[in-house]
Structure formats: C-alpha cells, structure tokens
Structure 1
C-alpha cells in the first residue's frame, strides 16, 4: 500500500470516527409528555382562575414617539405606530383575556446614535417601572438596553435589573450588523450571566432591498433575524460560556426549529468543536420560544417534535398585531390537537410563572426551572485529546 493511500485512508477513518462521536453525543430525543391528570387539571384551573401571561406585548412610551417625531415618521419596520396609552393598554388586556403582560419597547429598523439611544433606554425603562408599580400584577417589563454601545448597555442593565427590578432585558437580535454572540458584547453577557438574567430576543430588520426582495420586512426578515441570532448564540459559544442566562426567542425562534437538524450538522465541523461543545440541539432545546404569530399547524407540529412543552411561552405581539389576532391565538392553542389541555394551559400561564414567579397567586404552585450546566470536565478532556485528530482529519479532507 502506498504511503499516501494509507495516510488518506487513516484520515478518513479518523474523520469517520470523529463524525460518529459527534453524532452519538447528541442522540435523537423523545419528548416526554406530562400524563399526570391531576397536574393537568391544576394547570387548567390556574388559567381559568388567574388568567393568561403574555410575554410578547409592546408599549409605546413617550420617548418612542419623540424619537420618531424627530425623524418625521410614525412607523417602525414599515408598520404604522399604533395609538397607545396606559389606559388602552389595560383595556386591551381585559379584551384579550390576558391577566399579566411582560412588556417591551423596541426600535426595529432605526439607526440611533449613542447619546440619543442611551437617553431613550433610560426614559422608557423608568416609564415602564412607573406603569408596573401603578398596575401591580398586570404588567412587568423587559428593560431596553442601548446596544450596540456595550458600555452604556452594561450600565443600563445594572440600573434596570438591580434598581428598577426589571423582569429581564430585551435585546435586538442584531445590532448595527452584529449579532449577540459578537465579542463586542461579551462584557454585557457577563453582567447578565452574573444576574441569571432573562433575555428576550426580538428581531431587527436588516433591509432586504440589496437582495432585490421587495416584501414587508416583518414578514420575512423578522424570522430570518431571529433564526440567525439563535444560531449565532449557539455557535459562538455564548450559550456555553454564559449558561445562567435564560433566553427567550420571539416568534417561536423564526425558522430555527424547522432547520434544527440541518444546523446540528455543525457538530461535525471542526471550527465549532470548542464552542458548541455539548451539541447544537442541546443548546437549541434550552431556548424558550414565544408563540407570537406562530400558532399555525405547521409551526406547532415542528415545535411539538423538537422541544419540551415547558419551553413554550404565550405571546401576542400586540399592539403591532391586532387584539382580534391575539384572541384567535388563544383559541387556536386551546383547540389544537398538538397539545393536551394541560400542556396548552401551561403554555398560557404555568411556563411563564417558572420564569416570572412574582406574578403567581398566593396559593399557586410554580414548577422549578431546570439547571443548565457547562460542559463536563470529562467531555472537555475528551475533546482536547481528540482535537489534534480532528485537525488532521480536516487537513486530509482538504
């Protein structure tokens, strides 16, 4: 046998072994359904007595109207800014059958300078805190942070979480062309991880004009942006390094659940061996996903196969989605044959309470949150030992 033939053959065997090792580390997962009738009955009763929790509901603070007025516009991402007031907000909760909303103020598709964006964050967060105090139990809030300005964002996160007692923070999926796993944002991730913060990731809207795709930005680019952001958090190692952060992806994670197996093939790529160390699907299943504008049968079928029901949170996107649409989402969730009545009830309320227990009723039970661990010492050692072999296999394939 010629030396080169032997070396290439050995390389192929090594590559196959490494590939098999990676694939075995992430076996097909069977989703376990809750078959406890008593637990289902309790979840259903909790929704009937205490109401739905909406984790994706927006406010329009005065600072937002002022910022848009300075730009001579009344629209965000091509959507007309709705008429909104604290009074109409509470009325909409009543009309939609929502007891509590965890709100957010977002500025998709708008470029804002550092000083102006920092001022917007502080003003909208103080406004949200005031509303939450005035309407205790009906409203919580995700604090707005002025990304991509990391130093300012860190300062605002500390103020919002430690002083204003925000329920979490809202971050745009992409900021000035950078996703959240960018090294530029590592200091912010550290601050959020130290506080075991809940981070609601909302899509931004990079223009589709350069692609020649003239569709409404919220129709295509929202799910695309969320998909890229979720994958970026996984493949950059952000979820591994900052494992105490709880991530909520808006709009059911965009297209990410649908392409989950395809993106998990990154497990076989040497460049991700030291970042997505526990396997792509392991991290993907850690995301919480809201149901805003995502309760179609194809979407629910994909979610049912991929994630535990306790990873789903009810969301509406009101007021940018209509109240009628929000009410229809509740009906579709309850009527769906994809979920048991108890699972649907937990999506409506119980799952959110695990993240936001301050909104529970005095006698209401709350399920404990799972603990997400970093890569084990044994797996890390194995990975380091195999690293030279992976490199050799990669070079031989090239």
Structure 2
C-alpha cells in the first residue's frame, strides 16, 4: 500500500492462560484454531503495513453461572494486555474486556481499565449469554461509558440457539448477531441517549448497511419513532473493514456510513493472515475512492477517534 501505515481497530490477542480455551472454542465453531504471540503479531503487522493494532479479547470471560470467575478472568486479561501496550505503545493499543452480563462487575472493570491501565476503550460481546446490549439492565454501564466518552468495540459472538452443523458460526451467525444487537441498541434508544459513546461494529456492521432501509421500517412500528430517526441512529455507529472489504460490500458500506466512520480492521488472528491479505488488497484496489478517503479509512479516521495515535 502507498498510504500511511494503518491503524487496526480490530485485532486480537490470546493470553497464554486462555490459549487452550480459545483453540477449543474455534474448533467447536468449525473455524481455524488461532495461534498468537506478540512477536508473530508484530511481524504480521509489518507485512500488512499496520502501524498500531488495538488489541481486544474476543470470547466470553466466564460461564453464565460464574460471575466471580468472569471478573477474575477479565482482570487477568486486561492486566496482561496493558503490560504489552506499556512496553510497545507505538505498536499496540487496548480495548479492555468487560464481564457482562454482570453490570456491577463491568462497571468496576471499566473504571479500573480506563483509570489504572490506561485502556483506549472497552470491548463487549454482541450478546452476553443471550442478553442483547439494548437490555435496560445495562443502562448504568452505558451511562458511565457515556460520561467518559468511551470507545466501545462490539465484538460478535454466536447468537442464542442451535447452530447449523455444517455452517461455522463466525461465517454467517456472527454478522447476523452484530446486526441484531445494533438494531436492539437503536430501538431501545441507547445511541441517542448516550451520544458520547463511540461504538464500533466489526465486519462492516454485519448486514446493517446493505439492509438499513428495510430495518428503518421498525420506526413505523413504535410510537415516537420514524424511519428517518432509526436511520440517523444507525449511522451513529462506526464500522470496521475486517473480513468485509469485498467489491460488493464496500459500495454499500461507504454509501451508508457517516463521514469519518469507516475504520481499518484485520481481525487477526481469528481471521488467518492469508485470508486477510486478500481483503487488504481489495481495499487498496477499490476503484472508487474519493481523494483522501482511503487514507482516512486506513488511518485518519482512527486518529480522530483515538487521538493518542495521531502522528505529529
């Protein structure tokens, strides 16, 4: 690529204590088991012109009936990640994982991560053991994150219910769950009530840009809402390009997203590097970029969202 080195807002790490569980989770999904260590991550970033990767942990941190275990695992993962970032702040950033659906635990971990560990934002899953993010029980968390103007990466996970045995959940179910939680947030008024939260939807927002005008018709079904209002609130989200920068997806995403709201993402190592480089090439070779638009997607929009990354 010829534009400045990328900021990757959707990159993962796998701490040593979670390695076996993450490999088992991938195998259960019918997906390639991810392999990660700091050195290989930096080597991958150098090959793909990624200057800085915003690290997040992309799996549940505990079982539904073990909130204490989820709190402990979230703290361990966030402490481990913060140490990596402290050693290489030029190459890594940190979206701290929160132990939802435990709201009190999530509030405590958000405060610790943002105040003590200097996290750049937080990450939550698209549903927390079946509870979607517009659930009124999560209101105290959104209020706190709004007060702090927090960046929130909403990472997809498997939706409730049985998966199709011959269709890996990350391939189709994850984009579906991203779409589902985004609509749930909007129809419950969360982005409108808390406009200082900047929420990132991975993988170009699932199916959201392509079917946004269909989804906007939900505004006809509720008193006090309109299709135009639903569209306005859906466009408050940010979107990353991880595993989504194809020639059929980019026109829809760029037509829908608000200016400055499209960000580069790799989803490494959950998306293997040899898969991801094809999407990088599609991004670079897309023939309809406006002047400066590719640079904005690769880096400029992330610098505006995360000012500490801005170059002098």
TM-score computed with the length of structure 2 as normaliser: 0.92
Alignment counterpart, residue 326 of structure 1, candidates 254, 276, 281: 276
Indicate yes or no: 2:46 matched with 1:105: no
1:63 aligns with 2:17: yes
Q: In the alignment, which of 89, 94, 97 is matched to residue 141 of structure 1?
A: 94
Q: Which has the higher helix share?
A: 1
The number of residues matched between the two structures is 311
Q: 1:14 is matched with which residue?
A: none
Shift of 1:76: 6.4
**Gap change, CA 1:178 and 1:300, over 3 Å in 2:** same
SS, match of residue 79 in structure 1? coil
- Matches of 1:63 and 1:194 in 2, distance apart? 33
Do the aligned residues in 2 keep the contact of 1:153 with 1:188 (CA within 8 Å)? Answer: yes
Report the equivalent of 2:73. 120
Q: Secondary structure at the match of 2:297?
A: helix
1:218 corresponds in structure 2 to 170
**Gapped regions of structure 2 (runs ≥ 5):** none
> In structure 1, what is the Cα distance between the partners aligned to 2:74 and 2:27?
19
SS at match of 1:100: strand
Contact 2:62 2:99 in 1 (8 A): no
Aligned equivalent of 2:214:
262
How far apart, CA to CA, are the structure 1 residues paired with 2:55 and 2:215? Answer: 31
Deviates more, 1:308-317 or 1:110-119: 110-119
SS at match of 1:232: helix
Alignment correspondent of 2:183: 231
1:310 aligns to what SS in structure 2?
A: coil
1:264/1:213 CA distance change after superposition, 3 Å = farther
1:180 aligns with 2:130: no
Q: Which residue of 2 aligns with 1:195?
A: 148
| TM-aligned CA distance change 1:202 to 1:74, over 3 Å | closer
8 Å contact kept, 2:63–2:70: no
Mark the structure with the bigger radius of gyration. 1
Matched, 1:88 2:12: no
Distance 2:222 2:160 in 1: 32
| Cα distance in 2, alignment partners of residues 227 and 187 from structure 1 | 23
- Looking at structure 1, the residues matched to 71 and 228 of structure 2 have their Cα atoms a distance apart, in angstroms, of 36
Q: Specify the SS of the correspondent of 2:112.
A: helix
**Contact 1:55–1:315 (8 Å) recurs in 2:** yes
Matched, 1:337 2:291: no
How do 1:312-391 residues align onto structure 2 when only pairs under 5 Å count? 312-362=262-312
Query: Which secondary structure state, in structure 2, belongs to the residue aligned with residue 181 of structure 1?
Result: coil
RMSD between superposed Cα atoms in Å: 2.3
